[in-house]
Amino acid sequence: MTDLKLKPWPKFQGRPGPLLIVIMDGVGIGRKDESDAVHLARTPTLDRLLGSCPHTRLLAHGRAVGLPSWDDMGNSEVGHNAIGAGRVFDQGAKLVNRELASGGIFETPLWGQIVEGCRAGGALHFIGLLSDGNVHSHIDHLFAMIRQAAEMGVTRLRVHPLLDGRDVGATSALEYVEPLEEMLAELCREKDRDYRVASGGGRMVTTMDRYEADWNVVERGWQAHVLGESPNKFRTAAEAVRKIREEDPDMTDQYMPSFVIVDGEGRPVGPIRDGDAVIFFNFRGDRAIEISRAFEEEDFQAFDRKRRPDVLYAGMMEYDGDLKIPKKYLVNPPAIDLTLGEFLAANDITQFALSETQKYGHVTYFWNGNRSGYIDEARELYREIPSDKVPFDQRPWMKAAEIADETIRLLETGKYRCGRINFANGDMVGHTGNLDAAVMAVEAVDLSLKRVLEVVEQTNGIALVTADHGNSDEMFTVKGGERIVKTAHTLNPVPLIIYDPSCSGEYDLRTDLEGAGLSNIAATVFRLLGLEPPEAYDQSLVE
């Protein structure tokens, strides 16, 4: 068993006050042009920190956070995993790619059970995010599984695509829907198969809720996918996208209403029924947990399911290792162990984690290596501020002020040696594509950061200010002289700032560490607390 006790760092004993880690979600370092909401925002606090405090840049995308290539944008899940783990673990997309490339996924007993059940008369249903954003899912994974199912004799198959418009172009749905419907039609021509799209909807209004922010989102998905019910009925998914856009030209993919595909007589073509199999093909966990619970829980209270079909349900991965959600899954998730939080608890360091609902799971579940619940309830406090249930660009300040209020209260109690908070604004408002709102969002974070830092100074503490990935730092791109709204994360680096008002040269911040990324933060935290980091952790940025 690993000894979690850490030795003192002889060079620095830490400050008497707390160490506060501030995650400015989605606030990266952009080109400082008219597309960069972080640059356009009035940010006197950040400007002061960058002008007077030790700071550097960290990689927050691609291989620096365990994704397959440097072309892959980072995201909040892998970002918080990397910060909390202190090392880089291969993440969802990379693990699924490996299993599909080797064919290992198709040799599992679970895949065999799914195929066998469908050969016996059931339909195979795929539900998930349809894009190549590679944050929650990838269309290539879906296509590979559909083709393998066809080769193995599955005759009835239905797809329930959730439209992205967030990790990819805001109105790019047809780039994914049309190839999907073409492939399904091609497979039906090859043999006597019945493969169709059955239902769908935008990811922010259908199925993909997280952290129980709004169960109505999941209920709408259940009604469309399982019950075949929706006021919006179309003959094809491509028709659904086109006609919804005709009715509302400003509609972006992520907010498209749920819809159901019907036959010539107006009957839904693919409700989920007894004897069917369902694969939720997202590999990322946060927006897959609630729909999984709806399929699996006996005593389910979140909404009236009306009927719960007897199906074989499987996730692409295990979405919650502690709660065992779902019970069956195709690819094992990364086994993240020996997290920052575990070491802090083992060394009797009290800590708190705080955010609003939209990012609460990131400073708890993802930070702790995809693990629900407390590591050590006697030494930890987790606090959630309920998020507003409105489009984020309508209230771009979100809950930054309330997070600051609670952070200040907790710091002033003197009970906590270390805290971590997440301001969600830069990411959640950035995803709306609304530049003006994103500017306001960053300004709200800056104002709240100022208030928090004042208390850090008063309590003789240290603040480590950073981000988990970029977003608001690039709100549009220009192609052929035309602005194209960008709602996805960016490939930009993020800042790392050490705010230590009492510092008199006891340590130095390294700015020359090649390839430094989010995983270097954990070892840095230990040293700022006066402890030698674990040997297995990526290198500290202070020395």
Residues annotated as catalytic are: 76
Which tokens belong to 524? 């840095």
**Cα 158 off chain centre by:** 26
Which tokens belong to 158? 């239905």
Q: Note whether 118 and 111 are within 8 A (CB).
A: no
Measured distance CA(343)–CA(340) in Å, rounded: 5
- Residue in this structure with the two tokens 């579940």, named with its chain if needed: 365
DSSP state, residue 64: G
Pairing mode of beta strands 19-24, 462-466: parallel
**DSSP string for residues in 460-521:** T-EEEEE-SSBSTT--EEEETTEEEE--S-BS--EEEEEE-TT-SSSS-B-S--TT-BGGGH
3-state secondary structure of 28: coil
Closest C-alpha to 177, from 157, 201, 209, 208: 201
Helical spans, DSSP H, in 223-347: 237-247, 289-296, 340-346
Which tokens belong to 440? 């306001």
Measured distance CA(525)–CA(507) in Å, rounded: 13
Measured distance CA(463)–CA(452) in Å, rounded: 9
